[in-house]
Amino acid sequence: MCGAGGFIGGHLVADLLKQGKADIRAVDLKPFDQWYQRFPNVENLQLDLQDMAACEQATRGATIVYNLAADMGGMGFIENNRALCMLSVLINTHLLMAARKFAVQRYFYASSACVYAADKQTSPDVVALKEGDAYPAMPEDGYGWEKLFSERMCRHFREDFGLITRAARYHNVYGPHGTYDGGREKAPAAICRKVIQAKLSGRHEIEIWGDGNQTRSFMYIDDCLKGTQAILASDILEPINLGSSELVTINGLVDIIEEIAAVKLKRTYDLKAPRGVNGRNSDNTLIKKYLGWEPGIRLREGLEKTYGWIYDKISKSR
């Protein structure tokens, strides 16, 4: 499990352990005390997977590789750190080379909806993005280009060398045990944090990036885990959407979290802050065709769990 110290990776290790999976190797760049979740009954390694030797250490003896490792974060991070995001190409490239060398049976790559062409996402009333909308290529600068290139690397290692690769395009995954401050957090966690801080401080105000009319879909972590493992085990050759199709504006997201918090806040809008594309949603036609399933946990349900976890963290720290 590469990226095991991160949000999705930590949850995936926990899920595999619940299934009774043994002999798990968990790898991440971060020091162990910075891992979001860490389990004593797996082999935990701190390695820089941009380095070829580290990738060989991580994959030697492995039958399955999950590559969830990347230098990334929310829109505030990826818009201001394009070079760092692009350098993640070294992780996937070296992991693919190591996986081929050690005859890994299956290789999963975590891609992103940021691969989709920007001209398909100019309106908040966005048409849900189909997998083919990634081409002609015009993805999110930096992070999106790295993801799109790495998808192609997986494809060519499959076609040229017979390495079985699968790729999922994640759409805004959220849930407990994730980043909620520091600049790398995504919208659901960031807004939960802002609402909680406003409620606890008594200053009932919130700043929203952009005009709040941007639209997105957000996938709860449990759906992400189920879809990831199903896609890896499937015969789906091309990258496929893995995301909720429940579309919401950022203002609507704030509405839901205010309801959960039982508070109403005065809103101010920072129109100069990073805001990403105007609209993005997941077309789930293909995943329903191939798997007879799509992410279905409602946004309100997932946000209640996420809000509760972040509230506990912030209230304890105060």
Active site residues: 143
Spatial CA neighbour of 147 closest among 167, 172, 133, 118? 167
In this structure, are strands 215-217 and 247-249 parallel, antiparallel, or unpaired? antiparallel
Cα dihedral 189, 191, 196, 199 in deg (nearest 10): 180
* CA–CA distance, 6 with 10 (Å, rounded to integer): 6
- Which letter does DSSP use for residue 296 in this model? -
Q: Which residues contact 61 (CB under 8 A, 6 or more apart)?
A: 102
In this structure, are strands 240-242 and 165-170 parallel, antiparallel, or unpaired? parallel
- Which letter does DSSP use for residue 318 in this model? -
CB 102 within 8 A of CB 61: yes
**Residues forming beta bridges with residue 219, ordered by sequence position:** 173
CB 92 within 8 A of CB 2: no
CB 175 within 8 A of CB 302: yes
Q: What is the dihedral sign for C-alpha 170, 77, 247, 309?
A: positive
Helix and strand counts by DSSP (H, E) for the chain = 11, 12
In this structure, are strands 165-170 and 106-112 parallel, antiparallel, or unpaired? parallel
Encoded amino acid at 124, one letter? P
Alpha-helical (H) ranges within 31-124 are 52-59, 75-78, 82-86, 89-101
